[in-house]
């Protein structure tokens, strides 16, 4: 797939070997991308990443990752700062959106782009607030432990109740990625929540933090922040989850960034009350 535009912009699919360019631009925007996100992102949909190039030089990027037959997620919408305002972003956008077909598309939009997204048919679902702070020194609760290989199947099922679409290929990498620290809580053998903390460009990031109850979330949060005690940590909390906001505030974290979850259409029902921390703003 390739799409020409003004100034001979050509939009084509990006590969994992292009990831360092996209991650670098995201870091320049202070989005704090994870250091080892690429393999998990591309595992879910290796055809969902795009770069716009002029004379072979990357100037724009976007991802439209398909999850099954009904849902896709848009992220990494970026244009090199010195080439903005020339239509390159819009051309890249239009080319990549075709990859979603007739799926409902979700995104987490930065404030500056939300009006543009509305004009493109996206409707607000809720705000998401990034809370950042120094990880407290915590004891790891006795009933929270590091995820093992025999947990992954149950966590994948649990994760599917907390998201608009299943994502087993993504999770297989996310739970075991380089530098990723994943923990799970079980009650009576049943998963009641899990979470992951990973290294980011600017600070460590928690995501997801999915839990049945505020008590489960608090226990998981304690285990995750214990792994990063004394270092800066960020977590993206859906604003409607008042218990999630309270958890971040109780830890002394403060708002540092916000986005809006938006969709082009309906998504399947999922347990939004279990989402105490979004997995990643880039892939949902």
CATH architecture label of 130-277: 3-Layer(aba) Sandwich (3.40)
Nearest to 210 by CA among 248, 184, 229: 184
Strands (E), 201-266: 204-211, 232-238, 254-263
Cβ atoms of 277 and 206 within 8 Å: the answer is yes
What is the residue extent of each domain of the chain? 3-107, 130-277
Q: Do domains 3-107 and 130-277 have the same CATH topology?
A: yes
pTM exceeds 0.75 for this model: yes
- pLDDT, one tens digit per residue, over 14-36 is 999 999 999 999 999 989 999 99
CA pair distance 261, 122, nearest whole angstrom: 9
Mean pLDDT of 132-153: 94
CA pair distance 170, 39, nearest whole angstrom: 9
- pLDDT, one tens digit per residue, over 35-82 is 999 999 999 999 999 999 999 999 999 999 999 999 999 999 999 988
Task: Please tell us whether the domain made up of 3-107 is placed in CATH 1.10.10.1100.
Answer: no
Q: Where are the alpha helices (DSSP H) in 87-176?
A: 88-97, 114-119, 152-160, 168-174
Strands 275-277 and 254-263 come out as unpaired
């Amino acid at each position: 797939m390739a799409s020409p535009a003004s100034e001979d912009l050509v939009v084509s699919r990006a590969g994992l070997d292009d990831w360092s360019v996209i991650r670098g631009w995201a870091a320049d925007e202070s989005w704090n991308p994870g250091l080892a996100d690429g393999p998990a992102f591309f595992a879910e949909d290796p055809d969902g990443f795009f770069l716009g190039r002029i004379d072979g030089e990357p100037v724009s990027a976007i991802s439209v990752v398909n999850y099954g037959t009904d849902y896709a997620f848009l992220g990494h919408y970026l244009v090199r700062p010195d080439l903005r305002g020339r239509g390159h972003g819009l051309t890249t956008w239009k080319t990549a959106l075709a990859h979603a077909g007739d799926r409902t598309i979700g995104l987490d939009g930065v404030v500056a782009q939300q009006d543009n997204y509305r004009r493109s048919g996206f409707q607000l679902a809720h705000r998401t607030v990034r809370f950042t702070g120094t990880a407290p020194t915590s004891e790891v609760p006795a009933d929270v432990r590091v995820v093992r290989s025999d947990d992954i199947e149950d966590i994948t099922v649990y994760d599917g109740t907390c998201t608009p679409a299943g994502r087993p290929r993504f999770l297989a990498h996310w739970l075991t990625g380089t530098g990723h620290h994943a923990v799970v809580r079980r009650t009576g053998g049943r998963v009641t929540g899990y979470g992951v903390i990973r290294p980011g460009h600017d600070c460590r990031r928690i995501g997801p933090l999915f839990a049945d109850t505020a008590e489960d979330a608090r226990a998981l949060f304690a285990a995750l922040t214990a792994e990063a005690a004394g270092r800066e940590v960020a977590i993206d909390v859906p604003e409607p989850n008042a218990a999630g906001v309270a958890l971040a505030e109780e830890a002394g974290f403060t708002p540092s960034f916000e986005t809006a979850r938006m969709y082009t259409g309906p998504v399947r029902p999922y347990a939004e009350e279990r989402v105490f921390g979004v997995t990643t703003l880039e892939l949902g």
